[in-house]
Structures are given as structure tokens and as C-alpha cells.
Structure 1
Amino acid sequence: MADIMTSSKPGKPKPTKLGAETLTPDEQRRQFIEAAREAGASEDEAEFDAALKKIAKAKPPPANGQ
């Protein structure tokens, strides 16, 4: 697939087919963190572990050893 983000003019990002602007890594990080906070995400490791345990439960090993 051809790279749709290429530009013949350095310095000004070329919009993608959908019209989205190219973001720097710092802008992407900032927007991701902002969206995560709006969604109710937390940076607390204990809260993450508690949420993970609610949705991901390990299956017990089979009784017959298979």
C-alpha cells in the first residue's frame, strides 16, 4: 500500500485521504492521554489491576491433564 502521508513539501504535513492532519508524536500522546482521561481511565496501577481482574479471568486447567 502506498504511503498516504508522504509530502513533496517538507515542513507542512499533507492531509490524509480522510482529511485528518498529521500530528507530531507529542501531539498524539497529548490527545491520547486527554481521550483516556475523558473515558475514565486511571494512571493508578492498583485500579488497572482491579479492572483487569474483572474482565480477564484465567480458565482453570483441565482436570484430566489435557
Structure 2
Amino acid sequence: MRILIISGPGLIGSAIQARLSAEGHDCVSVSRHPTGTPEAHHVALDVAQAGDASSWKPVLAGAAVI
């Protein structure tokens, strides 16, 4: 299952992502800055500035859970 994690690189988000990835899920983290980890799936998006649906539509594509 593809899971979108808001603030994935943070303390809680990274722990959640590690657990879900270990269980075989395809996790994508969303945050303002890239993670710097080449193997991590990451989408750069400033959530505070993304107030309209057009900003989120490409990010949400394919995600089953947020």
C-alpha cells in the first residue's frame, strides 16, 4: 500500500515511516526540504503554503492512506 506521511523526515514521521516500510509498505514523505537520503521517497511541498487543491493533487496521486 502507498502511504503518504506528512513531515516524514521528522522525529515521529521517520519512526512511522521506518515501521511501515519494514512491513512492506511504499511510504512517501512530504516536507519542505529533501531528506538527503537517496533511497527515501520524498516529495518537497511546503504544507503551510499549499492551500489549494492544485498543490496537493499530484502529491496525493496513488496514495491509499495519508
TM-score, scaled relative to structure 2? 0.27
Q: 1 or 2 for the larger relative contact order (CA 8 Å, sep ≥6)? A: 2
The answer to which structure has the higher helix fraction is 1
TM-score, scaled relative to structure 1? 0.27
